[in-house]
């Protein structure tokens, strides 16, 4: 099933066919994909609708200058790295981006925890939701983790996974049939009986399962986008929301490449270590044998530190 309705596809083609002269800063690499829907999961997508600013806007805000000035690109990149390295946030808040996202309801409810954004969601009080629901691939159907109470453990055996998928599909199909019946609609979405009144849409919607798709416009500044991506593109994040974060990472890289490079260096590829953890590292460098028992860390904290430091540290501590 296509991720875009014919109406949406026509709207996108019309938008992409238009060009508008401007004195504002534009980014050719991002303009190339503007309005384009990037598929995510089975029926979802992410597309950039609008943006404001570029790497130069961050530098300009940091220097509080009137224009690009005479600084070299390398100097601008160095300043952005400095800002990122020292956790300066306001210069990055000068840039904004707006996405149109189609996503399962359960992912939306997780996503909305990032409150520093402007959101306008598709209204199921006003409109009828399409019959589109998320069914994971078998390799993503896993048991509850025994270590992480909010995560997945081992992938289920094939027969169990397919039974789960059948149940998900059957429940979603049944709930949608009842959703239509309550609103007095037939399978084609037309009024089934002219002599009957359908239930209000705002009530009928509560029957739908959380894997049904919703849509929203999500606008945020660059600082808060990076906070979202740092958490949701992490390998610990739930797969489904991580799929959206990974797709958004492409537009981030196109939009502000110098900021993306600094973000990859100091956020994605870096690690936060506690004061005790830093003291342990210093002890190890001096050649001291440090174990969990004499480290001052709990078992979980110790395991996380060893994961951060890698195999060499783990062997030294063993």
Judge whether 232 counts as a catalytic residue. yes
Torsion-angle region of residue 287: left (phi > 0), alpha (psi -120 to 50) or beta?
left
CA–CA distance from 301 to each of 74, 232, 308 (Å)?
39, 21, 11
Angle between helices 239-255 and 222-232 (to 10 degrees): 140
Q: Could you tell me the end-to-end alpha-carbon distance of the chain, in angstroms, rounded to an integer? A: 53
Round to whole Å and give the CA distance between 33 and 153.
36
The one catalytic residue in 232, 254, 282, 315 is 232
Round to whole Å and give the CA distance between 300 and 305.
9
Q: Is 45 helix (H, G, I), strand (E, B) or coil?
A: strand
Q: Is 69 helix (H, G, I), strand (E, B) or coil?
A: coil
Catalytic residues: 232
């Amino acid at each position: 099933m296509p991720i875009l309705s014919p109406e949406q596809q026509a709207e996108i083609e019309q938008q992409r066919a238009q060009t508008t002269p401007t004195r504002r800063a534009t980014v050719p690499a991002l303009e190339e994909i503007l309005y384009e829907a990037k598929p995510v999961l089975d029926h979802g997508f992410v597309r950039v609708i609008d943006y404001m600013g570029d790497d130069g806007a961050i530098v300009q805000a940091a220097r509080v200058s009137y224009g690009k000035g005479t600084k070299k690109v390398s100097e601008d990149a160095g300043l952005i790295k400095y800002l990122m390295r020292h956790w300066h946030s306001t210069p990055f808040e000068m840039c904004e981006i707006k996405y149109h996202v189609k996503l399962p309801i359960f992912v939306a409810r997780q996503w909305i925890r990032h409150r520093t954004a402007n959101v306008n969601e598709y209204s199921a009080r006003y409109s009828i939701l399409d019959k589109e629901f998320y069914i994971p691939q078998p390799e993503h159907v896993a048991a509850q983790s025994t270590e992480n109470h909010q995560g997945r453990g081992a992938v289920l055996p094939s027969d169990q996974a397919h039974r789960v998928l059948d149940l998900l599909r059957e429940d979603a199909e049944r709930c949608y049939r009842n959703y239509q019946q309550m609103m007095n609609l037939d399978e084609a979405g037309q009024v089934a009986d002219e002599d009957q009144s359908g239930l209000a849409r705002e009530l009928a919607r509560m029957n739908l399962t959380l894997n049904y798709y919703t849509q929203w416009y999500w606008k945020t500044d660059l600082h808060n986008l990076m906070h979202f991506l740092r958490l949701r593109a992490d390998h610990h994040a739930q797969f489904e929301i991580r799929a959206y974060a990974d797709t958004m990472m492409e537009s981030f890289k196109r939009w502000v490449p110098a900021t993306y490079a600094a973000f990859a260096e100091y956020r994605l590829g870096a690690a936060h270590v506690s004061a005790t953890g830093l003291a342990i590292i210093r002890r190890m460098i001096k050649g001291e044998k440090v174990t969990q028992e004499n480290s001052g860390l709990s078992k979980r904290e110790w395991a996380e530190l060893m994961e951060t430091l890698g195999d060499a540290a783990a062997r030294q501590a063993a």
